[in-house]
């Protein structure tokens, strides 16, 4: 039976690369998006992957959305928590709303989606959850106390949930991308981006497909003995 994968933030950037990579592996994929209907429709037309719209930071929306995916495609076997936003600023100037929204979506979304799908995975004795963290959750980043805290929280969430899922055949892992050539990174001012690239030992930004291939491996049967781990894909920018 074809496995069903759900990818949040799955219609653009890294998420689009993950969605298309998982489809190429033979999975039935549901790509979740929050706002841009036109872009999501173009994605579905281009890839043949069905897009579903909901806010991953809304707990009930995740429960209802995952139920709709299950009804359309079948029980969910794989969840890739990729959705994330930035609301950058130094703490002195950061509003509570900017703090809370990043935590609600980036970290809260992982809980909401896992809560919606984990029970079914456990009952069926097989599942894969892959959470997309960040190099900035590992190393910190000036002006990103909210983003760094949320992404760091993802790594702890991953390790804890992995312990719960292990005996049921459910693996939970994370990937920590470095700076990837996406819309989010391209919005960084050129002088700042040049300084960032200068600190990456391989001398370039990463590509979305490089993250997607890591996700694909962790979702496969070949990775069954890997759980509670974080795969850093950052060009050597942060090593530990």
Q: Which residues are catalytic?
A: 147
Place of tokens 């959705």: 83
Q: DSSP letters of 35-60?
A: S-HHHHHHHHHHH--EEEE--TT-HH
> For the chain, what's the residue count?
240
Tokens for 69? 């995916």
DSSP per residue, 75-116: S--EEEE-------B-TTT--HHHHHHHIIIIIHHHHHHHHH
Return phi, psi of residue 119, to 5°.
Answer: -60, -45
Looking only at the bridges linking them, the beta strands covering 50-53 and 28-33 are: parallel
Tokens of 215: 């996700």
Q: Distance (Å, rounded) from C-alpha 102 to C-alpha 91?
A: 14
The rounded distance, in Å, linking the Cα atoms of 167 and 174 is 19
């Amino acid at each position: 039976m074809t496995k069903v994968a759900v990818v949040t933030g799955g219609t653009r950037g890294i998420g689009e690369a993950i969605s298309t990579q998982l489809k190429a592996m033979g999975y039935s994929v549901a790509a979740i998006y929050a706002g841009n209907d036109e872009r999501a429709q173009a994605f579905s037309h281009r890839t043949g992957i069905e897009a579903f719209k909901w806010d991953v930071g809304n707990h009930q929306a995740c429960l209802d959305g995952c139920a709709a995916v299950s009804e359309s495609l079948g029980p969910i076997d794989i969840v890739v928590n990729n959705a994330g936003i930035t609301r950058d600023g130094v703490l002195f100037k950061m509003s509570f709303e900017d703090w809370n929204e990043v935590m609600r979506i980036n970290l809260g979304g992982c809980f909401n989606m896992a809560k919606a799908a984990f029970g079914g995975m456990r009952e069926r004795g097989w599942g894969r959850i892959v959470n997309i963290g960040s190099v900035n959750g590992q190393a910190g980043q000036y002006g990103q106390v909210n983003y760094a805290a949320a992404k760091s929280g993802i790594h702890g969430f991953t390790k804890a949930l992995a312990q719960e899922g292990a005996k049921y055949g459910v693996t939970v892992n994370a990937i920590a991308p470095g700076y990837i050539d996406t819309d989010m990174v391209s919005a960084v001012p050129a002088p700042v981006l040049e300084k960032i690239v200068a600190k990456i030992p391989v001398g370039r930004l990463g590509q979305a497909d490089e993250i997607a291939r890591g996700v694909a491996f962790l979702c496969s049967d070949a990775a069954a003995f890997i759980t509670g781990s974080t795969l850093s894909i950052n060009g050597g920018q942060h090593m530990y």
